[in-house]
Amino acid sequence: MPATGANVSGRIVDVTVVAISDGSVAMTFVDVTDERGAEARFKELAARDHLTGLWNRNRFRAELSANIASGMPLVVALLDLDDFKLINDTMGHSTGDLLLQVLGDRLTSNLPSHWTMARLGGDEFAIAAPAMSDEAEAIATRISEALTLPLELEGIRITPEISIGLASHPLDGRDETTMLRMAEAALQSAKDSGDRFRTCTERDRVDAARRDRLSRSLAAGLDEEQFMLYAQPFVDLSTYQIVGAEGLARWVLPGTGVLTPNLFLDLLGMSGNLTNLTDHMIAHAAALTEGGRIMSINLSPADLHRTDLVDLVSQTVNARTNPDAGRLWLEILESRVFAAGHDMIDDLIASGVDVAIDDFGAAFSSLTRLADHEIAVLKLDRALLQSLGSNHRARRLIRSVVDASHDLGAVVVAEGVETMEACSVVEDLGCDLVQGYLLGRPAPEPLVADLLTREGGLTPDEWPDHEAIQAWEVEAVGPVSAI
């Protein structure tokens, strides 16, 4: 049997003892000092961030878990650089890397050595300090003072700006996953508010508990097809007929309610199921075009990097049985349109669908896409339209965009039209279709499938009203408990 790790004169020796049939024993001694030293050094390097020399994400979580298990009070701080992408874009990634190295050096040089410090990735750092919750703000101040002193990189003077989110053990969590999630929520609050730092709040803790419950319900929701297409109609301004609808994802969760994407998209993304939802939505939307009307589906950022999307879309479109089926639109946010490569856009169009630029006017980055590709649809951002008011210069600008779109063969859709006055404005601007609660609320597929697939005209008056939608949801969800 081996007796590993015996220490002889400062050397590490593996000793193996083997029994022989005559009752004697044979022993072997192997000096493994150098080998064990190399293993230790390799493990040390594997646990370090290669750029800053701080612990990496996995080692930080392990250290945090061990500290929590010991029962000691802790403050966890998550921090990232404000506008780090701008530094990379304007000064180059090598300068960005150099800045991260400087910040890593400042952490190790200016903060107590018994604090656990790590670079989690990108410009995100994490620190765990043994301290009570009422010391959190003092810790944030100390971190900020250490990192935000001016410095010179590549001959350019930079003053780093950071945002910090703070969570405390045991107040905000009793395991490393919860603690990091609480600190992340506080960090987001700091960034949203423009504050240098934020501590975890009761609202953050309630939101995290809700997310945990939703996360546990996710698998059943997918298996039981609780994720459903809701349709919001497109109305033709020239005829006031419903010519199609946008398919919107909703989670109809029994006992909880009808959840909108802001409550579940990131959970689906983390679980790797976001693209499965897209596939589900495309299949249902394509079926609703069989009656000759338009259906539109939003693509997520993850979809823009898929290698199987074009084949899936092509197969789905070609599987329809009605030769006069309507068009399927795939919407890409204007802010994401350049993430969809030229080939992706052209291949989607060639597969038999129309590509729509969604929230146009939110970023003003995609006019070149109208010229480069056969973009079929432009959906004007609702905030852009709502800000027009009596601004005649802005109206002339939008009218010129509408005219240019028409010259290129694109349909223009006005989103978020909620009043007759707004409807008149977008009609004067030359928009083709409108969408908004004024002309039809998002309604569940079971209520509108027959309407969208039937032949003949369809008016907004025939669309389910708010009371009908609510009645269906009450029956589908059943008794509701808090989430």
Residue 13, strand partner residues: 6, 31
Distance CA 473, CA 101 (A): 54
CA distance 303 to 296: 15
The b/e string for 405-422 (b: 16+ C-beta within 10 A; e otherwise) is beeeebbbbbbbbeeeeb
Q: What whole-number distance in Å separates Cα of residue 128 and Cα of residue 57?
A: 12
> Which CA distances in Å does 247 have to 244, 250, 266, 280, 289?
10, 10, 19, 11, 11
Distance of CA 327 to the CA centre of its chain: 28
Task: Give domain limits for the chain.
Answer: 2-42, 51-200, 225-477
Say what the pLDDT of residue 105 is: 94
DSSP letter string, 173-217: -SSHHHHHHHHHHHHHHHHHHT-SEEE--HHHHHHHHHHHHHHHH
* 51-200 against 225-477: fold identical: no
Residue 314: strand, helix, or coil:
helix
Question: How high is the pLDDT of residue 44?
Answer: 62
Alpha helix segments (H runs only) across 8-70: 33-46, 57-69
Among residues 114, 142, 138, the alpha carbon closest in space to that of 128 is found at: 114
Q: Are 218 and 270 in contact (CB under 8 A)?
A: no
- Alpha helix (H) residue ranges in 289-415: 309-318, 342-350, 367-372, 382-386, 392-407
Cis? peptide before 479, omega within 30° of 0: no
Nearest to 129 by CA among 167, 182, 84, 89: 167
What pLDDT is attached to residue 42? 60
pTM over 0.75: no
Strand-pairing partners, residue 121, are 124
What are the pLDDT tens digits along the chain (483 aa)? Answer: 444 444 445 677 777 877 787 777 777 777 777 766 666 566 666 789 989 999 999 999 999 999 999 999 999 999 999 878 777 767 777 888 899 999 999 999 999 999 999 999 889 999 999 999 999 999 999 999 999 999 888 778 888 999 999 999 999 988 998 899 899 889 988 888 888 999 998 888 887 778 778 888 998 998 999 999 999 999 999 999 999 999 999 999 999 999 999 889 988 987 889 999 999 999 999 999 999 999 999 999 889 888 999 999 999 999 999 989 999 999 998 877 766 766 888 899 999 999 999 988 765 555 666 677 788 999 988 777 776 666 777 788 888 889 988 998 999 999 988 888 889 889 989 999 999 999 999 999 999 999 999 989 999 999 999 999 999 999 999 988 755
- Out of 3.40.190.10, 3.30.200.20, 3.40.50.300, 3.30.70.270, which CATH number does the structure's domain 51-200 have? 3.30.70.270
| pLDDT score for 366 | 54
Q: Which residues pair with 69 in a beta bridge?
A: none
Classify residue 363 by its DSSP letter. S
Token look-up 């030229």 returns: 342
DSSP annotation of 111: S
DSSP 8-state assignment for residue 300: P
C-alpha neighbours within 13 Å on the C-beta side of residue 54: 29
Q: What is the DSSP string of 138-183?
A: HHHHHHHHHH-S-EEETTEEE---EEEEEEEETTT-SSHHHHHHHH
What pLDDT is attached to residue 1? Answer: 40
> Are the beta carbons of 133 and 153 closer than 8 angstroms?
no
User: 225-477: what fold?
Assistant: TIM Barrel (3.20.20)
